[in-house]
Amino acid sequence: MQPTHENGLPKQRHNILILNGPNLNMLGIREPDVYGFKNLSAIALECGEYAGELGCTVDFRQSNHEGELVTIIQEARGACAGVIINGGAYAHTSIALLDALKILEVPIIEVHITNTFKRESFRHHSYISEVARGVICGFGGHGYILALDAMRALLEE
């Protein structure tokens, strides 16, 4: 039998994986003029609270390792209803992440803290965008909240 949430729905129907790539664990310390002062734990907390208001749960993860990110994505199969991903620099470089995301059959939303299109040209292309239903960039940590809203709407479709 599928695990169920308090509301009786199967858990994976509204469990959302929020996956963060390299250096995002350094938010708040890392180039605050570019990425802001909010750290990833604060963002995780806000996402957890907001997801609760939406009737969802979140699995908020971060890794600096490409292979580990691939494994987390593979394990999301059947365990979550959608994926919100900030691949960090791997968004611009990783065919492995793209291939892993292609295996999923759930909606994917890409997030970037910064407006990558206002930055260096090497940040203008993202492999993840090829499989994302949509991309949210340039709104700082609030982008994750916007992505949760968008995901909730997609899951209600």
14, 90, 112, 144: which is the annotated catalytic residue? 112
Q: Which stretch binds ligand DHK (CB under 6 A): 3-11, 45-53, 64-72, 84-92?
A: 84-92
Pairing mode of beta strands 57-62, 15-20: parallel
Q: Does 86 bind ligand DHK (CB under 6 A)?
A: yes
Name the minimum Å distance from CB 62 to ligand DHK: 11
Q: Does 114 bind ligand DHK (CB under 6 A)?
A: yes
Residue 37 backbone phi and psi in degrees, to 5: -100, -5
* d(C-alpha 3, C-alpha 9), whole Å: 9
Question: Per-residue string for binding with ligand DHK, 26-65, x by CB under 6 A?
Answer: ----------------------------------------
Which runs of E-coded beta strand occur in the chain? 15-20, 57-62, 82-86, 108-112, 134-137
Q: Which stretch binds ligand DHK (CB under 6 A): 38-46, 61-69, 83-91, 101-109?
A: 83-91
Name the minimum Å distance from CB 16 to ligand DHK: 18
Nearest-5° Cα angle at 115, 148 to 39: 60
Q: Does 116 bind ligand DHK (CB under 6 A)?
A: yes
Q: Does 112 bind ligand DHK (CB under 6 A)?
A: yes
* d(C-alpha 150, C-alpha 51), whole Å: 12
Name the minimum Å distance from CB 139 to ligand DHK: 10
* d(C-alpha 148, C-alpha 153), whole Å: 9
